[in-house]
Amino acid sequence: TDGGQTWSDNAPVNLFTNMQGSKTPNLILKQNYPNPFNPSTNISYELPYDANVTLKVYDAAGREVANLVSSYQTTGNHTVRFDASGLSSGVYFYKLFVQQGASSITKVNKMILTK
């Protein structure tokens, strides 16, 4: 028994469309530029909606070495400059965490610091 519920064969509504019917753009985390870099680089990303954003840098061992962004940001392109003059040469990772309501997205990219 289905408990008296009504069933339909209609296709589900796509919740990821805007008023014009096109799909919502994805969150984009771009490769830092320049890469490899010394001593600073730019990290760019594109937000498809207003959201709480955290951008952190980690070393190869997974230790946090910098917290670049921790704020509410609006839709659009954003660029953050990362100065690694106090760090040693090596591979680092930058992680973008975006949260809107109950949903969240995390993206990670690798970068190389050469001195």
- pTM for the structure as a whole: 0.78
Given a cut of 80, whether residue 11 has pLDDT beyond it is: no
Q: Which pLDDT does position 59 carry in this prediction?
A: 97
pLDDT in tens, 41-77: 999 999 999 999 999 999 999 999 999 999 999 999 9
- Predicted local confidence at residue 3, as pLDDT: 55
Mean pLDDT of 13-27: 52
44-47 contact pairs (CB < 8 A, 24+): 44/77, 44/78, 44/79, 44/80, 45/77, 45/78, 45/96, 45/107, 46/76, 46/77, 46/78, 47/73, 47/74, 47/75, 47/76, 47/78, 47/98
Question: Please, what is the end-to-end C-alpha distance for the chain in angstroms?
Answer: 69
Contact call for residues 37 and 49 (beta carbons, < 8 A): no
Which sign, positive or negative, has the C-alpha torsion 31, 80, 54, 14? negative
